[in-house]
């Protein structure tokens, strides 16, 4: 092979794995895979179709394949698995962490799940089945059961010896739960403390008693956000009798928060959340996720049409009022969306509770009135340039009232949804905007009738 030929198979710095796969250059693909970390390879595979992703994945060596596979989302993992031969399939599944394996199986078709469980060793099958038994979205489903639990009567030397003996089979050894004879959690000790302490020190002297922990049936999102607040890298997970059942690790906590935030963002934008990579989703798939909400909002927007029709006589007497309808409903909708977004976020991170409803109403009402007053000053100037001062005054007063009303509605609806056990993000920005549009017009025309005497 000439030097020119060697250079040709090397991927350029600007080429992606997708570009290489499109031109069917195996040597270039191998060179690209050898020079990129697992998370980058996983991102590229998620962007590709099933055939290309499967072909590229089979070029990876066993260890790198496992690392890349665990970086993929469950929907992308299923896509890869469907193209593997039986032995490759079993090797890959057996090497996965039990919590990652359980998350993939929850979203996999029954045929794939059955095949996965059948190919596992008895030990891995038991751990996976136990995780699958916890409620959907619970901490138990996301925790790792592979934990080194230390008896409370050990010395530091004995504890380190146990970590060396069992640590290879554990997902993490940085946080070591300490348990009594009944495996009830009594505290935790960090590996750093053991390494820096004298060998004959009793670990009971180093244990952090009453550590922050989660119940296996608790919401995984709630546990993950608690980890963020306490700056823990691992959190013990216990059952109803305080027996240790696993650890929620920081990498899984980050995934839980990312998934929850992604779902909230999609719902706030008036779209159903989807799984997998955005670039791999088809046009009709994305349209399908968005269509339902757009149709619902279209029907809801008929309220605005009905209100306009109701005040048709008012518009005929003061045609200039129609000029400011887009300005007013836009300002009100934006003010409501801002309040709704702030409230959904505050609910998600625990800054606001349902019991704070009256406080939130009072706060958002005042915020809306302040914003409305600021906009009213600008509205009077804008109105004065196009119409007489009386109509401009109507616009100014309406801006104050609409913004106060919109902010109150925007801050209230997510809390009421939470109380009714509805996802607050579902009734946030799009629904608030639609509701405020209709009620804002009622405020506008009512104000006009009072001020203009029509």
pLDDT attached to residue 188:
92
CA dihedral 236→240→241→242, nearest 10 degrees, is 10
Q: Is residue 48 one of the residues assigned to a domain? A: yes
**CATH at residue 193:** 3.10.580.10
| Domain shared by 200 and 119, yes or no | no
Instruction: State the DSSP H helix or E strand holding residue 229, giving kind and residue range, or none if neither.
Output: helix 220-230
Residue 395 to residues 60, 303, 419: CA-CA distances in angstroms? 65, 21, 36
pLDDT attached to residue 254:
86
Residue 70 to residues 48, 251, 288, 326: CA-CA distances in angstroms? 17, 11, 29, 49
Cα separation, 65 vs 142, whole angstroms: 22
| Domain shared by 128 and 160, yes or no | no
Q: Is residue 343 one of the residues assigned to a domain? A: yes
Q: How many residues does the chain have?
A: 454
Let me know: does 258 contact 266? Beta carbons within 8 Å. no
Cα separation, 22 vs 408, whole angstroms: 53
Q: Is residue 143 one of the residues assigned to a domain? A: no
| Domain shared by 261 and 400, yes or no | no
| Domain shared by 308 and 420, yes or no | yes
| Domain shared by 209 and 291, yes or no | no
Cα separation, 61 vs 101, whole angstroms: 20
pLDDT attached to residue 420:
81
Query: How is residue 145 annotated by DSSP?
Result: -
| Domain shared by 167 and 45, yes or no | no
**CATH at residue 286:** 1.10.357.20
Among residues 269, 294, 318, the one where a domain terminates is 269
Question: Can you list the alpha helix ranges (DSSP code H) found in 62-97?
Answer: 62-71, 74-81, 86-95
Let me know: does 234 contact 136? Beta carbons within 8 Å. no
Q: Is residue 435 one of the residues assigned to a domain? A: yes
Cα separation, 344 vs 429, whole angstroms: 10
The token pair that represents 212 in the structure block: 């922050």
Q: Is residue 4 one of the residues assigned to a domain? A: no
Q: Is residue 9 one of the residues assigned to a domain? A: no
| Domain shared by 23 and 126, yes or no | yes
pLDDT attached to residue 234:
92
| Domain shared by 105 and 172, yes or no | no
Report the DSSP pairing between strands 150-151 and 175-179.
parallel
Report the DSSP pairing between strands 234-238 and 214-215.
parallel
Per-residue pLDDT of the chain (454 residues; tens, 9 = 90+): 344 344 445 555 567 887 887 777 778 888 888 888 888 888 888 888 777 787 788 888 877 888 888 888 877 887 777 766 666 777 777 777 787 777 777 766 666 677 777 777 777 777 877 777 788 888 888 888 889 999 988 999 999 999 999 888 888 899 999 998 888 999 999 999 999 999 999 998 899 888 889 999 998 888 998 888 888 889 999 988 899 999 999 888 888 888 777 666 666 555 555 555 556 566 676 666 666 666 666 666 676 667 666 766 666 666 677 778 888 888 888 888 888 888 887 887 778 888 888 999 999 999 999 999 999 888 788 777 777 788 888 889 999 999 999 999 988 888 888 888 777 766 666 777 778 888 888 888 888 888 887 7
Based on the structure, what is the number of domains in the chain?
3
| Domain shared by 313 and 433, yes or no | yes
pLDDT attached to residue 162:
92
Let me know: does 371 contact 407? Beta carbons within 8 Å. yes
The token pair that represents 311 in the structure block: 């005040």
Residue reference for tokens 């104050």: 400
Cα separation, 328 vs 397, whole angstroms: 11
| Domain shared by 263 and 296, yes or no | no
What's the whole-model pTM score? 0.56
Q: Is residue 443 one of the residues assigned to a domain? A: yes
Among residues 218, 240, 269, the one where a domain terminates is 269
Among residues 203, 238, 269, the one where a domain terminates is 269
- Closest by CA to 181, choosing from 267, 127, 243, is 243
Report the DSSP pairing between strands 234-238 and 244-249.
antiparallel
| Domain shared by 398 and 304, yes or no | yes
**CATH at residue 59:** 1.25.60.10
Let me know: does 322 contact 312? Beta carbons within 8 Å. no
Range of the domain at 108: 17-134
Residue 388 to residues 11, 54, 373, 392: CA-CA distances in angstroms? 68, 69, 20, 6
| Domain shared by 233 and 102, yes or no | no
pLDDT attached to residue 6:
40
pLDDT attached to residue 7:
40
Q: Is residue 106 one of the residues assigned to a domain? A: yes
């Amino acid at each position: 092979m000439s030097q020119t030929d060697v250079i040709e198979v090397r991927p350029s710095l600007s080429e992606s794995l997708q570009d290489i796969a499109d031109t069917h250059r195996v040597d270039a693909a191998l060179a690209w895979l050898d020079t990129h970390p697992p998370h980058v390879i996983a991102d590229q595979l998620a962007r590709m179709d099933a055939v290309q992703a499967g072909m590229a994945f089979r070029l990876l060596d066993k260890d790198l394949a496992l690392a890349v596979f665990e970086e993929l989302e469950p929907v992308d993992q299923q896509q890869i698995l469907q193209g593997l031969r039986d032995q490759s399939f079993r090797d890959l599944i057996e090497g996965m962490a039990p919590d990652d394996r359980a998350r993939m199986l929850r979203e996999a078709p029954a045929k794939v799940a059955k095949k996965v469980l059948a190919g596992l060793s008895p030990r891995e099958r038991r751990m996976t089945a136990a995780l699958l038994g916890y409620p959907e979205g619970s901490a138990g489903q996301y925790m790792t059961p592979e934990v080194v639990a230390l008896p409370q009567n050990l010395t530091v030397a004995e504890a380190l010896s146990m970590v060396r003996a069992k640590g290879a089979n554990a997902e993490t050894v940085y946080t070591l739960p300490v348990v009594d004879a009944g495996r009830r959690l009594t505290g935790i000790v960090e590996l750093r403390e053991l390494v820096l302490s004298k060998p004959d020190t009793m670990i009971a002297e180093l244990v952090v008693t009453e550590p922050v922990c989660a119940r296996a049936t608790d919401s995984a999102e709630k546990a993950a956000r608690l980890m963020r607040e306490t700056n823990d890298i691992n959190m013990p997970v216990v059952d109803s009798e305080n027996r240790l059942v696993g650890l929620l690790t920081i990498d899984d906590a980050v995934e839980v928060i990312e998934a929850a935030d992604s779902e909230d963002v999609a719902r706030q934008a008036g779209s159903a959340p989807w799984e997998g990579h955005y670039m791999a989703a088809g046009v009709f798939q994305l349209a399908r996720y968005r269509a339902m909400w757009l149709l619902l909002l279209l029907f809801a927007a008929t309220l605005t049409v009905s209100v306009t029709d109701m005040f048709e006589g008012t518009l005929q007497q003061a045609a200039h009022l129609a000029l400011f309808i887009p300005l007013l409903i836009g300002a009100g909708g934006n003010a409501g969306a801002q309040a709704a977004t702030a409230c959904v976020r505050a609910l998600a991170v625990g800054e606001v509770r349902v019991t704070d409803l009256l406080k939130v109403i009072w706060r958002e009402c005042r915020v809306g009135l302040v914003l409305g007053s600021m906009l009213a000053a600008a509205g009077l100037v804008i109105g004065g340039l196009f119409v007489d001062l009386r109509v401009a005054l109507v616009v100014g007063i309406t801006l104050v009232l609409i913004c106060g009303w919109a902010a109150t509605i925007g801050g209230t609806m997510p809390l009421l949804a939470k109380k009714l056990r509805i996802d607050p993000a579902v009734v946030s920005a799009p629904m608030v905007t639609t509701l405020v549009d209709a009620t804002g017009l009622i405020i506008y025309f009512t104000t006009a009738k009072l001020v203009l005497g029509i």
